[in-house]
Amino acid sequence: MRTGDSYETLVAQTLKALGIPESYGADRQMPPFVETESLVSVGLDIHGRERQLSPHAAGRWLELRAAAQQDGIELLLVSAFRSLEYQRQIFERKIAAGQSLEEILKVNAPPGYSEHHTGRAVDLTTPGCAPLTEEFETSAAFAWLVRHAHRFDFTMTYPRENRFGIAYEPWHWAVREET
């Protein structure tokens, strides 16, 4: 974050630079998410990159993964914490690849509105399942999550026809805020 700029100002500048209306969140009844400043490692993702979550979410994730393993289910991390800057880079890569902003916004929350900023969200897959596809919905891992994730405070953020206008993401799960 630039010195002297508030997070809200930085989000507004980033949205403007990407051509996203400043009213994006209000139009979709989607809350902005502030980046967490407290992160701990939760190991490697499927690409061998170290991933981080907030301390509370990290503990819940490790418990969830261990319980799944005890039931013969392997949950693999695709993504966890993402900074505002990283989210901006996702948009820039997709725009450079020729995708329209409308297409991108159907599958990615813009910088400032990604639940990944909080350090409480994970994208998951399981062996034999292409990551970040609806195919995950047909896996034993997804069925296990539907039955058990709530015990670990995880919920699926983007069910079918969600109020945020984001595509169905059976792989995206988040821990409720610590109370």
> How do residues 64-102 score in pLDDT, each as one tens digit?
999 999 999 999 999 999 999 999 999 999 999 999 999
* pLDDT above 90 for 178: no
Does residue 3 lie in a domain region?
Answer: no
In a domain, 127, yes or no: yes
Tell me, yes or no, whether 26 lies in a domain. no
Q: Please check whether residue 23 lies inside any domain of the structure.
A: no
> Would 69 be classed as within a structural domain?
yes
Res. 4: pLDDT tops 90: no
CA–CA distance, 152 with 89 (Å, rounded to integer): 31
pLDDT, average across residues 140-163? 97
pTM here is 0.93
Provide the percentage of residues in the chain whose pLDDT is more than 90: 90
The answer to whether residue 110 is domain-embedded is: yes
- The values of phi and psi at residue 125, to 5°, are -145, -175
Cα–Cα distance list, 143 to 78, 128, 136, 146 (Å)? 18, 15, 9, 5
In a domain, residue 11? The reply is no
DSSP state of 149: G
61: helix, coil or strand?
helix
* Count of domains for the chain: 1
Q: How far apart are CA 82 and CA 114, in angstroms?
A: 8
Helix (H) or strand (E) holding 172: strand 172-175
- Read off the pLDDT band of 179 (50, 70, 90): low
Q: Which helix (H) or strand (E) holds 77?
A: strand 76-79
At 73, the amino acid letter reads I
SS3 for 173? strand
Q: Which range marks the domain in which residue 170 is found?
A: 31-175
Find how far residue 136's CA is from the centre of its chain: 15
77: β partners:
124
What CATH number should be reported for the domain holding residue 89? 3.30.1380.10
